[in-house]
Structure 1
Amino acid sequence: MNLLEFTVPPLPHYIVSGHTDFEQGHRHMSRRNVQVFDLLVVSRGCLYIGEEDRQFEVSVGESLILRPDVYHYGTEGCKEPTSYYWLHFQTTGGWTATDTLEASGYHEPIDVNSPSVQFATRSFPLQLPQYAKLLQPAKTEETLQQLVQLAPAAHLSAAKLKQQLLFQEVLQQLAACVAPERSSPATSCAEQAAAYLRSHYREEITARALGESLRFHPVYIARCMQREYGCSPTEYLLRYRIEQSKLLLMQTDYTIARIAEEVGFNQAPYFSSSFLKVEGISPRKYRQRFAQG
């Protein structure tokens, strides 16, 4: 599957959109290095488009994203009256073309020595299919129609914000086309396990209890989580507990012992040593970063 992967944040942003009708025989124009992404969604007929050495036939209910940095062209004229929505967008962040599906549990490690680590923004990949059969074409077309209708009011701040919000809905609908490709029994198992650990992190959780809850063997669960999240269920639970403890250290005046209890540690010393191992700093020193004066 050909994918366009964007590093988020920042989110890709909307520029302009419209709706075009082609008569039979009309051909999509040829362009090179247009500097913007061009999303096409066909509502009637079929578009015949090439990008470098690849050729696409984009039919009703399908979408195509043309890259901003390469040559694209019409391969032949429409064989019937054809209508399509077009939308230009861009990103100020990084992006790349790939055919590798990113694991659902992707996360970027944080440098604990960074001065902004307390409020660090974790980036993640947004993967969009370059060519896709839309899961809900009517919904996507409706959203694009709303964007086109906003054009006369595009000079107003409220309309500009609405355009960006509608565009994010379009991105969500496109990203959903990737999910079925990514899904597998192993991915589902890992996601269920992560959800269980997050919901019960204050409790004592054993491998057996996790297995009985999900109705999978603990060894299989561990293998799935290692593949999706790069860690075992125990490691995942520890990291999540530490993240929750950081919020309490910053937002409350609870004692270290109480925080340890609140996030599922039986003993405060074990909590402190675990926190130090994960964060590279003790809970007390972490809290001092937020103290007045």
Structure 2
Amino acid sequence: MAFIGQISDVFPSQISDPKNYYEGTDLPNRIICSNVIVFERLTWKSLQQQHVANRMHHRYVLMRVLKSSGIVSVDGQNYQLDVGDALLVTPYQFHHYIEIESDPLRWLFITFELEQGQPALADLSYRRLQPDLQTHQLWGEVANLWSSEQGASRVELIPTLDRLLARLHVTTLRLPQQELEGATTGHGWIAQVESLIKRSVREGWTFEEVAQRAGFSERHLRERFERQMGLSLRAYRSQYQFQTAISLMRDAKCSLADVAELSGFNSQPVFTRFIRRMAGRTPRELCRQVREGRYEQSTELS
């Protein structure tokens, strides 16, 4: 092999003996991923419409901007992502995309489930991530391994993603505190309207009442919201109600009547029709699948 003559160049000049041959380095809660999917979005329309069709996500979503900056709203907080920036969205976080700079765009997505390592990934949520050179190289490795048609390469995919997430965790926690947050202060009216829509679920407000509290006419709010967000007020509220219902169903102590009421439905038949429309099954069927960890939408990616 050609590299044999220089093989020692990659090793330290000396490796000292361990103090104890039975106690080594260990990470009992290290990041371990499973069921990984990698894909990209190339237009604003496909990005937003795919998200709307998915309604909500039950997996981790790691996204990175490769071309055309934009804003991702996560639970009402807006994050400006420039080219090179990344963002981690955890399961059940309500997110959507606004003000994408221009088409064509290129946003890379890695979605996955987590076997262990939740605390480490919790440290990465609600933050704009700015990968360093080593992290950037790991991103490229994950994308190339996914694109490879060789089965052997796919075997390396998940361990490489584990390394990428671990590297993001380490580099992010090294940043000064003022650089960790990343939420933008602009687009205040969007955050206000999102908050009012969520309150409307609890309070039973109409969209006219939401508009009045936001200082708009209902027509103007509907038009401005859909133009800015890429989805209607009704679609946004339906997604939020569905997310709320799914989250509540995970709690075995919460009855379906409680789920319906806390999701903004005073009528069980109306709630049943809503769940059938959103999930294609009855509330009881959906609840059972959620609690057994079997609920997946076939289109669920981002």
Please give the TM-score of this superposition, normalised by the length of structure 1: 0.43
Question: Normalized per residue, which structure has more helix?
Answer: 2
Question: Normalized per residue, which structure has more strand?
Answer: 1
Please give the TM-score of this superposition, normalised by the length of structure 2: 0.42
- The structure having more radius of gyration, on CA atoms, is 1
Query: Which protein, 1 or 2, shows the higher relative CO under an 8 Å CA cutoff with sep ≥ 6?
Result: 2
